Structure 1
Amino acid sequence: MTWAEPGQAWTSGRWTLELRGDELADISLDGTVVLRSVRLVLRDRDWGTVDLGVERREVASSALTLHVGGGGIEGTVAVHADGDRLEVVADVRADDEIETNRLGLAVLHPPTVAGAELAVTHADGAVERTRFPRTISPHQPAFDIAGLAWEHRGLAVSMTLEGDVFEMEDQRNWTDASFKTYSRPLELPFPYRLAAGTRVRQTVSLRAAGRAGLAAATEDEIVLQPAGVVPAIGIGAATAPGPAPAPTPIGSFVHVELDLASPAWRAALDRATASGLPLDVRFVRASAPGLFEAARALRGVRVRTVGAFAGDGPEKHVSDATTVAALREALREEGLDLPVVGGARTHFTELNRRHGLLPDDLDGVGFAVTPLFHSRATAQLVESLGILPLIARQAVELSRGVPVHVGPVTLRPHVDAVATTPEPVPSEPDLRDGYGPALLDATDPRQSAPELAAWTIASLAALTTPGIASVAFFEEWGPRGIRSSSGEPYPVAEALGVLAGLAGAPVEVGSSADSRVWVMTVTTPGGRVTLAANLDGTAREVRVRTDRIIVPAGGWLLRE
Structure 2
Amino acid sequence: MTHSGSGAPVWWRETAPTWRAGGWTIALRGDELADIRRGDVVILRAVRAVVRDAGWNTVPVSVIDANLGAESLVLQLRHEGLGAAVISTLTVDLQGDALRIDWDAENLRDFDTCRVGLVVLHPPSDAGRAITATHSDGSLERTALPDAISPHQPIMDICALQVGDGDGDGDGATMLRFDGDVFEMEDQRNWSDASFKTYSRPLALPYPYALRAGERVHQVITLDAPLLPPAAQKRRAEISLVEGGAFPLVGVEASTAPDGPNPQPSSPVGDFRIVELNLTTPTWRAALARAAADGLPLDVRLVTDADPAPLAEAAHALADHRVIAITAFDSILHVSERSAVEGLRTALSAAGLAIPIRGGARSHFTELNREHRRIPDDVEGITITTTPLFHSLDTEQLVEALAMQRLIATQTVEMAAGLPVHIGPVTLRPRFNNVATTPQSAPTLTDLSQGYGAQFTGADDERQDARELAAWTIASAAALAVPGVASLAWFETWGPRGLRDASGMPRPVADAITKVAALAGRTLLWGGSPDGLLWAIGARGEDGDIILLANLDRTSRPLRLTGADTSPLEVNVGAGEWLRLHRAHSSTRLSRQWTGAPRVPDGTARDARSHRPDPRSI
2:35 aligned with 1:35, yes or no? no
User: Structure 1's 218 and 87: CA in aligned 2 closer, same or farther, altered over 3 A?
Assistant: farther
Deviates more, 1:40-49 or 1:209-218: 209-218
Equivalent residues in 2 for 1:234-245, closer than 5 Å: 234-243=251-260, 244-245=263-264
Shift of 1:134: 0.8
Shift of 1:510: 3.0
Which residue of the partner structure matches residue 140 of structure 2? 127
2:61 aligned with 1:44, yes or no? no
Which residue of the partner structure matches residue 261 of structure 1? 280
Instruction: Give the paired residue count.
Output: 557
Q: Structure 1, residues 352-377: CA drift from partner, whole Å, max 9, x if none?
A: 11111110110111111110001000
Which residue of the partner structure matches residue 143 of structure 1? 156
Q: Tell me if the contact between 1:153 and 1:212 (Cα under 8 Å) persists in the aligned partners.
A: no
Which residue of the partner structure matches residue 80 of structure 1? 93
User: Structure 1's 536 and 511: CA in aligned 2 closer, same or farther, altered over 3 A?
Assistant: farther
Shift of 1:513: 2.2
User: Structure 1's 82 and 224: CA in aligned 2 closer, same or farther, altered over 3 A?
Assistant: farther
Give the partner amino acid of 2:138: G
User: Structure 1's 402 and 277: CA in aligned 2 closer, same or farther, altered over 3 A?
Assistant: same
Report the aligned-residue RMSD: 1.3
Q: Tell me if the contact between 2:157 and 2:184 (Cα under 8 Å) persists in the aligned partners.
A: yes
Structure 2 alignment gaps of length 5 or more: 2-9, 563-567, 583-618
Shift of 1:521: 2.8
TM normalised by structure 1 equals 0.97
User: Structure 1's 153 and 5: CA in aligned 2 closer, same or farther, altered over 3 A?
Assistant: farther
Give the partner amino acid of 1:11: R
Which residue of the partner structure matches residue 385 of structure 1? 402
525, 528, 535: which one pairs with 1:518? 535
Q: Structure 1, residues 306-365: CA drift from partner, whole Å, max 9, x if none?
A: 0111213xxx21101111011001000000000001110110011011111110110111
2:433 aligned with 1:416, yes or no? yes
2:470 aligned with 1:470, yes or no? no
Q: Tell me if the contact between 1:56 and 1:68 (Cα under 8 Å) persists in the aligned partners.
A: yes
Equivalent residues in 2 for 1:310-389, closer than 5 Å: 310-312=330-332, 316-389=333-406
Q: Tell me if the contact between 1:424 and 1:436 (Cα under 8 Å) persists in the aligned partners.
A: no
Give, in whole Å, the separation in 1 of the partners of 2:204 and 2:364.
Answer: 21
Higher RCO (CA < 8 A, seq sep 6+):
1
Give the partner amino acid of 2:312: F
Which residue of the partner structure matches residue 6 of structure 2? none
Give, in whole Å, the separation in 1 of the partners of 2:558 and 2:177.
Answer: 42
2:44 aligned with 1:5, yes or no? no
2:267 aligned with 1:248, yes or no? yes
Which residue of the partner structure matches residue 272 of structure 1? 291
Shift of 1:512: 4.0
Q: Tell me if the contact between 1:166 and 1:185 (Cα under 8 Å) persists in the aligned partners.
A: yes
Q: Tell me if the contact between 1:14 and 1:83 (Cα under 8 Å) persists in the aligned partners.
A: no
Q: Tell me if the contact between 2:432 and 2:458 (Cα under 8 Å) persists in the aligned partners.
A: no
86, 105, 119: which one pairs with 1:92? 105
Q: Tell me if the contact between 1:111 and 1:177 (Cα under 8 Å) persists in the aligned partners.
A: yes
Give, in whole Å, the separation in 2 of the partners of 1:368 and 1:300.
Answer: 27
Equivalent residues in 2 for 1:93-108, closer than 5 Å: 93-108=106-121
314, 318, 321: which one pairs with 1:298? 318
Secondary structure, in 3 states, of the residue corresponding to 1:447?
A: helix
User: Structure 1's 215 and 53: CA in aligned 2 closer, same or farther, altered over 3 A?
Assistant: farther
Give, in whole Å, the separation in 2 of the partners of 1:196 and 1:438.
Answer: 35
Secondary structure, in 3 states, of the residue corresponding to 2:417?
A: coil
Secondary structure, in 3 states, of the residue corresponding to 1:89?
A: strand
Q: Structure 1, residues 161-215: CA drift from partner, whole Å, max 9, x if none?
A: 0111100001111111100000110011111111001100000000002525735
Equivalent residues in 2 for 1:166-185, closer than 5 Å: 166-185=183-202
Q: Tell me if the contact between 2:190 and 2:366 (Cα under 8 Å) persists in the aligned partners.
A: yes
Give the partner amino acid of 1:5: R
276, 292, 303: which one pairs with 1:284? 303
Give, in whole Å, the separation in 1 of the partners of 2:516 and 2:146.
Answer: 34
Which residue of the partner structure matches residue 554 of structure 1? 576
Q: Tell me if the contact between 1:153 and 1:213 (Cα under 8 Å) persists in the aligned partners.
A: no
Secondary structure, in 3 states, of the residue corresponding to 1:482?
A: strand
Give, in whole Å, the separation in 1 of the partners of 2:284 and 2:434.
Answer: 20
Shift of 1:224: 2.2
Which residue of the partner structure matches residue 60 of structure 1? 69
186, 191, 194: which one pairs with 2:203? 186
Shift of 1:233: 0.5
Deviates more, 1:511-520 or 1:210-219: 210-219
Q: Tell me if the contact between 1:223 and 1:511 (Cα under 8 Å) persists in the aligned partners.
A: yes
Deviates more, 1:57-66 or 1:42-51: 42-51
Q: Structure 1, residues 103-157: CA drift from partner, whole Å, max 9, x if none?
A: 1000000011111110000011111101000111111000000000022642221
Equivalent residues in 2 for 1:420-431, closer than 5 Å: 420-431=437-448
User: Structure 1's 299 and 212: CA in aligned 2 closer, same or farther, altered over 3 A?
Assistant: farther
Secondary structure, in 3 states, of the residue corresponding to 2:402?
A: helix
Shift of 1:231: 1.1
Give, in whole Å, the separation in 1 of the partners of 2:575 and 2:426.
Answer: 23
Give, in whole Å, the separation in 2 of the partners of 1:50 and 1:537.
Answer: 29
2:122 aligned with 1:109, yes or no? yes
Q: Tell me if the contact between 1:156 and 1:210 (Cα under 8 Å) persists in the aligned partners.
A: no
Q: Tell me if the contact between 2:477 and 2:537 (Cα under 8 Å) persists in the aligned partners.
A: no
Secondary structure, in 3 states, of the residue corresponding to 2:498?
A: coil
Q: Tell me if the contact between 1:228 and 1:465 (Cα under 8 Å) persists in the aligned partners.
A: no
Q: Tell me if the contact between 1:42 and 1:103 (Cα under 8 Å) persists in the aligned partners.
A: yes
Give the partner amino acid of 2:429: R
TM normalised by structure 2 equals 0.88
Which residue of the partner structure matches residue 228 of structure 1? 245
Q: Structure 1, residues 285-314: CA drift from partner, whole Å, max 9, x if none?
A: 3422221111111111111110111213xx
2:34 aligned with 1:25, yes or no? yes
Give the partner amino acid of 2:539: V
Which residue of the partner structure matches residue 487 of structure 1? 504
Q: Structure 1, residues 244-271: CA drift from partner, whole Å, max 9, x if none?
A: 4111210011111111111111111111
Give the partner amino acid of 1:453: A
User: Structure 1's 212 and 439: CA in aligned 2 closer, same or farther, altered over 3 A?
Assistant: farther
Secondary structure, in 3 states, of the residue corresponding to 2:383?
A: strand
CA radius of gyration, larger in: 2
2:328 aligned with 1:308, yes or no? yes
Give, in whole Å, the separation in 2 of the partners of 1:173 and 1:11.
Answer: 33
2:453 aligned with 1:440, yes or no? no
